[in-house]
Amino acid sequence: MSQSVLSHRLKQTAAEAAVALVQEGMTVGLGSGSTAEIALQLLGQRVRRGLRILGVPTSERVAALAREAGIPLAPEDDFRLDIDIDGADEVEKSTLNLIKGHGGALLREKIVAASSAMFVVIVDESKIVDRLGAKFALPVEVMPFGWRATARQIERLGAKVAIRHGGGDSYFLSDSGHFILDCSFGPLEDPASLASELTTIPGVVEHGLFLGMATRVLVGAPHGVVELRP
């Protein structure tokens, strides 16, 4: 079995376990990324079999996929969620703190997660780390105006900062019209302090540290699903 096939199978296993938690009448956060999109397709299958739910998408791409799957969407301006199903770039094993945002949807993802009674994170084993920042840079969403000045302030916190590019020579734009700075700090000794410092920098809209938010993490593993709780 190739690595890509195995990875997809593990993601599918985690997604199936999460979708099984969804009950009739729930409002469901629809996360972004490859694993969350598998969950969305599984939810669409349940909806076509008669399940009645409302979805809250975390990106315009996910909204389009939800419509294609037949999932009705809740109003964008006012929602309360029973459950949010989303992926993560890194999950710190000891705390279940997360890094998210490599798909560029971190602002909406955090709004949806914070509005949910249950935030279920679905990943394969490769996303579990001993310390956040071990594998991935931290995405930080910033205002386009003055972004270089914002980047310099983040660099003073010890990061190597790179602006994310879209197609060609253009910069990537989030669905909310912001730039993404990928900030490499290395393994994070104190994510909470870093999160606090980032929020004080003018121009920073949101960061990809999701601390103390996950209700449970469902990890797709070769022998089945491993459930982690705080």
Residues identified as active-site: 109
Side-chain-side CA neighbours of residue 28 (13 Å): 32
CA angle 106, 33, 47 (to 5 degrees): 110
- φ/ψ (deg, to 5) at 84: -120, 130
Strand partners, 186: none
Residue 184 near residue 200 (C-beta atoms within 8 A): no
